[in-house]
Structures are given as structure tokens and as C-alpha cells.
Amino acid sequence: MKPHMLAEFEDIRVRRSGNSLTIANSVIVREFDLSAGAPRTVSLRSADGREFASPDKQCADLSFIGLTPPDNEKSPWRLEEISAKIQEAGLFDAAGVRVRLKMSEPIEQAVYIREYIIYPRLPVLTVRNAVECPVKPNIYWTKRGVYARNQQAPEYRALAESCADSIRPAPEYRPEYAVEFIALTDTTDERVTVHPAADAELLNGNLLFCSAADGAGIALLQEAPPSGERRDYEEYDFRVSEGTVFSCNWGIPPSELIPGKVFHGYRHVLMLFHSRPERDRLLKQYLRLRFPFDPSRHASIMVNPWGCGCLPKLMEKQFLLDEIAATPELGATHYQIDDSWQTGGSLGELSLKNRKVTPEFWSISEERLDGTFAPAVEAAARHGVEPALWLAPSANSDYEDWREFAAMVLNYYRQFGFRMFKIDFMKLRTSVAEANLRELFTYLRTASGGDICFNLDITNGQRTGYLYFLEFGNIFLENRYVNLPHAPKYHPEKTLRSLWCLSRFIRPQTLQIEIPNPEDIDPALYPAGENPGDYPVEYWCAVALFASPLLWLAPSLASPTMRRRIKAMMDLHSQYRDRIFAGEIFAVGAEPDGSAITALQSHDFASGTGLVIVYRERGNTAGQAIIPLNYLPENPRWQLIYGQGEAGASVPDELRITLPQCPGFALLAYR
């Protein structure tokens, strides 16, 4: 049969020929067999013709838990239609081609939609599935999942998994390790766990790498909440069986399917790479493309006074005016009004009392703020500060009131100029809750022409994590305090370790990193030898230089001297932010452990230039280190921008650094 071109865009080509479908650009080609009524990957090639997939894959690429899979001979799926269209760049994604397959199963009368998105010149293909079914999945569902599986007949046990995508790698590409991200940052300081994949059948994580001996391989990424916060029936995220890798979890438990309603799953992403440096670059490059971020509109040096530890009792009009007046003295760009501005009281009304919220809850307090933000907003304009606001949509009702809530937010945007909203108390406990929250964010970003964006709090609950909903804003990472006895304690060593570990895989540009006020420290709360005040405030600030600084303090309560010291560091961030954010940021050097010399590298692939910030932790006695770097130009020229130290190349792709101050840091540039 003569091939039929479904779409062409830049270097992208989508072709169908009988039961064969090819989705390709100049660097990746994925071919599917459609004869079973659903796609089955038979080839996955890179630009040089290297084959990454085995052609003898037996099963289709997708299935949904408890519903008839495509390979069932008694009720084969039917491919109803295939279409492709060009996707324009917009607020929520980059330009590319979207390929849509509609499939059906005749007995259950389930309808499946599978969409692929491919981008120009990127060896990446994403997929997202949707399902609508008039009957419930033919499987028991219960929190006691193992019991349920064991009690079912063998023909049903095989259905106990939702597979969003699957690939049978060529024999040389073996699963290497999975990366599990951990949020719930109120309860743990661990951010990343790496699970070796050799001989493992079940793995948790948002990332799985399958690699050959020469470093080439396949990366599978799940744009989903962290493993521990998902709703899926499965107790794992990836399954490896007889050489086939299954990327599981649609984000839709079988109990939630409702006749007549279409449910959409998470995005699953497949990437090809030829070396580990290329893999690391590709991951960051995809995340940059996937989640458009304009630093000039959406970056900030944010002040949030909640970190002072006593905000609710301070909240009133004069306090806000004093705070905003002091904010420029920190070098900050934004001041965020946090919890207790609202008539309804505090977050505790939702989180502890489970109050049913009405629109009046989110009116401006007459008692504390005279029912208006106008004085605070006018003061912000006088002092060159942008106002921002804290909010907590109705998680305890699955955000069913999202339209009323959106109208309130849009009114505050139009009346007072709030563009950045911190979103607290997220609970994505159901598919309906997730869909409603997505509707809320999508509506507000669209209605404001992309002006509104969100700081997504991932500190507690069942939330979005590090790789989900990033098209709506950035990530409020941690609640850490220096003066609250029953709250997580701030320490620059732990904050740096969190940032460094996450920077191996995600973009630090998306993280808000806290900087409290050292003057607020209660020494009695820290064991001997662990007082964060042993590090100067400049070091605290330096930890956040390659991310989005969050001044977690009340500026009006800080001394003039402290404000000047913080401002000097925030001015440094402002001066170099665009250069830092223009590059991709990688964790380099030793993993922070309290006695390391460690670093972050921002490399601009367009110009071949970059910046490196090197930290000497308090317990380090050597004062010098050799730090392996990637992507350096030949014979780089080094410049010390800030701090004390000597730097130079030892061998290609290495930095020899001496830092005399302990603790200390240095910011360097290379070209």
C-alpha cells in the first residue's frame, strides 16, 4: 500500500502505510504495527540508524487494568481512526505534531484515545492515553491489592495492571536504574532514591534508564506525581518482564471509571541518547521545551513572611505596609501575603477542621485589613515591589467549586494586580480532583494571557511533585524554620543537599529555595555543633543562587545590617540570573554531606559559556578539590566573580579549585 503522509512540520514526518505507522523527525524514528487494532512498537531508531528496539515484541503498547487488552483473540480491538495535526507553541507546551489514535473494544464497548506528541529535532516522543467505558473494569479493587489479585481467576490476574507505554529494548539495552523522587518535604529530607534495576522486575520512580555498555540507551520518563503520592492500583511504576519494559500508571484507579466520562492519564515520555552527558542534557532540554518558562515574567526573588514563625498574629494593615517598605532593602522583587489575610481565618479551618468553604471565606478580612488590599498594593507600587498572594483551593471537595474560586482569583488579579499565587493544601486524591484543579489553573493562565502563574507547594498532602503541572508555575519546595520547636528545622547543609540531588535530574530553575533570617535562630532547638548560624548568611543565600530565591522571613523584623547583607547576595543573583537560567544546571562534584566540596554548573549550549558555583561545607578539611565537569569548551578561561579562591583547569572537563574559607563558596564563569 502506498504510504500516506498524515503530517509534516519542520523535520517531523508522520506516515501510515496499511497496518504500519511511522512517527519520526530527523533524530528519532518509532514504527508501530497496527494489525491488532492498537499500536505495537516494532522499531525505534536514532538518526544514525542505530536500532534501540527488538522487532519481536508480542504485546500491544498499552492496556488498562481490568479491561480487555488489545491482544485478546475473543474480542480484538478496532482501530477507528488516525489523525495528526500541527501543535502551535503556547502557554502549556511547545510546537510539534500531535498524532491521535482512536480505538475501541466491541464487547465492553470501551473507547481509547492515544495521543503522541513529537517535537522538532529532539529524540523524544511523548504519549498520553484516555479511556471511556460504559462498564466497570472486570477486576476486584481494594487497598489490599495482593489479596485481591490472589483471589481472582488466572485469566483476570493478567489484567491487574494499567500500562501507559511499553517497549522491548534491543538486547544490549538493559534496565540500569530507576529514579524515585520524594516530596512530602515536611516529613523527610530525602529527595531522590536511585533503585538499581539489574534483575529487578518491579521498580518505583518517575525515571527509568536502559543503557548499553557504551552509554547509549533509552530513558522513560513519567510526568506524574512522585511514586508515594499516586492513586494507581499498581504498587510499582515500571515492570520488566522477559525483556519488555512496561511504563505503568495512568493515574486512574479502576474504581473511578464512570460511564460516559473520558478519563485522561499521565504523560509518558520516551527518549534516546548516545552517552550519559547527552542523556543528562536531553532530559533538561526536554523539560525546558515541555514547560515554557519566561524568567522575565515568571522568575522572582520572593519574600514570604510565613518563615518568621509568627505570622498569623502579626497580620494586619500596618504590618503589611512596614513589610513592603522593607522588602526592597532585601533586593527582593515580590512580596507574598500569606495565610490569615482572608475572612475565613487560617488554613487550619480546611486542614484541621475540614470546613466546607463558601466564597465568603476568601473575602479580604475586615478585621485585619479593612476589607481591601489597596493600601498594600499602593505601597508595593511606590517601593517597586510586586505583590503576590497565598491561596488554598478547596481540596476537601475535590475542587468542585473551581469556577467560583477562579472568578475570585481573577478578580484579585484584575483589581489588585496579583500575578503570582502560592497554592497550598493540594490533595489530588481522585482523578476528578486532579481534573478540576487542572481546569482551575488552565482557565486562570489562559484568561490572563499567561500572566498568572503559581507557586505549587509540595510539602505535604497528595500533590503534584517535581514533574507534574509545571506548565502552571514553579515549585515551593520546603517548609523549614529556625525557631519553631515542632516544625522541620532549617540548615543550609540539608537545603544544599536537597537542591543538589534534585538537580541531577530536574531543572533547578523551577525550584523556590528558602533563605530564613539567621537572627530568628533559637539555638536551643539545634543539637551541639548543628547550629545553622555557623554558616554566614551569605552562604545561606548562595545555596539559592542557581534557583529561585525565597526569602522566608519578615523583612520588617530583620535588622538593617542583615537586610544589607542579604541584599548584596540578591543583587548578585539578579545580576547573573539571566545567564544562569539561560543554561542548563547540573549537579557536579561530590554529593553534599556536610564535609564535601560540591558544586552546580550552568552551561549555555548556545554560546558554549557557563557559570559554576562551588561550595565548601563546614566539615571539609582539604580546602581543594578536582571537580569533573561536562560540556566545557576547549581550553576554557576562568573568571572568579564572587568569593575567595583559585580556579583553573587540570585536565579537559575538570576544574581544580581551592577555597580558603570554611565554610565558603565561590562563583566562577568560563568561556
Q: Are residues 538 and 633 in the same domain?
A: no
Residue after which a domain boundary falls, among 523, 556, 582: 582
> Would you call 546 helix, strand, or coil by DSSP?
coil
φ, ψ dihedrals at 613, nearest 5°: -115, 125
Q: Are residues 286 and 305 in the same domain?
A: no
The per-residue pLDDT for range 279-309, each reduced to its tens digit, is 999 999 999 999 987 888 889 999 999 999 9
Q: Is residue 591 part of a domain?
A: no
CATH code for the domain in which residue 650 is found: 2.60.40
Nearest of 607, 618, 553, 551 to residue 584 by alpha carbon: 607
Q: Are strands 124-132 and 110-118 parallel, antiparallel or unpaired?
A: antiparallel
Q: Is the four-CA dihedral 629, 632, 634, 638 of positive or negative sign? A: negative
Q: Is residue 213 part of a domain?
A: yes
pLDDT at residue 89 tops 70: yes
Q: Are residues 630 and 514 in the same domain?
A: no
CATH code for the domain in which residue 207 is found: 2.70.98
Q: Are residues 603 and 574 in the same domain?
A: no
Q: Are residues 568 and 621 in the same domain?
A: no
> Would you call 507 helix, strand, or coil by DSSP?
coil
Residues 573-579: contacts with CB within 8 Å, 24+ apart?
573/301, 573/331, 573/541, 573/544, 573/545, 573/549, 574/301, 574/331, 574/333, 576/545, 576/611, 576/641, 576/667, 577/295, 577/299, 578/295, 579/604, 579/609, 579/611, 579/669
Q: Is residue 588 part of a domain?
A: no
Residue after which a domain boundary falls, among 265, 290, 315: 290
Q: Are residues 466 and 376 in the same domain?
A: yes
Q: What's the grid cell of residue 370?
A: 479593612
Identify residue 283 by its one-letter amino acid code: L
Total structural domains within the chain:
3
Q: How confident is the model at residue 143 (pLDDT cuts 50, 70, 90)?
A: low
Residue after which a domain boundary falls, among 557, 582, 607: 582
Q: Are residues 397 and 505 in the same domain?
A: yes
Total-model pTM: 0.96
Q: Are residues 13 and 143 in the same domain?
A: yes
Q: Is residue 135 part of a domain?
A: yes
Q: Are residues 183 and 327 in the same domain?
A: no
Q: Are residues 197 and 325 in the same domain?
A: no
Q: Domain range for residue 198?
A: 4-290
Q: Is residue 296 part of a domain?
A: no
Place of cell 545555596: 543
Q: Are residues 574 and 430 in the same domain?
A: yes
Q: What percent of the chain has pLDDT over 90?
A: 89
**pLDDT at site 292:** 84
The per-residue pLDDT for range 208-262, each reduced to its tens digit, is 999 999 999 999 999 999 999 999 888 899 999 999 999 999 999 999 999 999 9
Q: Is residue 179 part of a domain?
A: yes
Q: Is residue 418 part of a domain?
A: yes
The per-residue pLDDT for range 366-415, each reduced to its tens digit, is 999 999 999 999 999 999 999 999 999 999 999 999 999 999 999 999 99
Q: What's the grid cell of residue 619?
A: 566539615
Between the alpha carbon of residue 97 and those of residues 12, 23, 119, 499, the distances in Å are: 7, 9, 7, 34
Q: Are residues 282 and 310 in the same domain?
A: no
**pLDDT at site 119:** 98
Q: How many residues does the chain have?
A: 671
Rounded CA gap, 34 and 53, in Å? 17
Q: Is residue 587 part of a domain?
A: no
CA angle 503, 509, 515 (to 5 degrees): 90
E-only strand ranges, 493-540: 511-515
Q: What percent of the chain has pLDDT over 70?
A: 97
Between the alpha carbon of residue 166 and those of residues 53, 131, 176, 209, the distances in Å are: 11, 17, 16, 13
Between the alpha carbon of residue 2 and those of residues 5, 16, 488, the distances in Å are: 10, 9, 64
What integer best gives the mean pLDDT of the chain?
95
CATH code for the domain in which residue 341 is found: 3.20.20.70
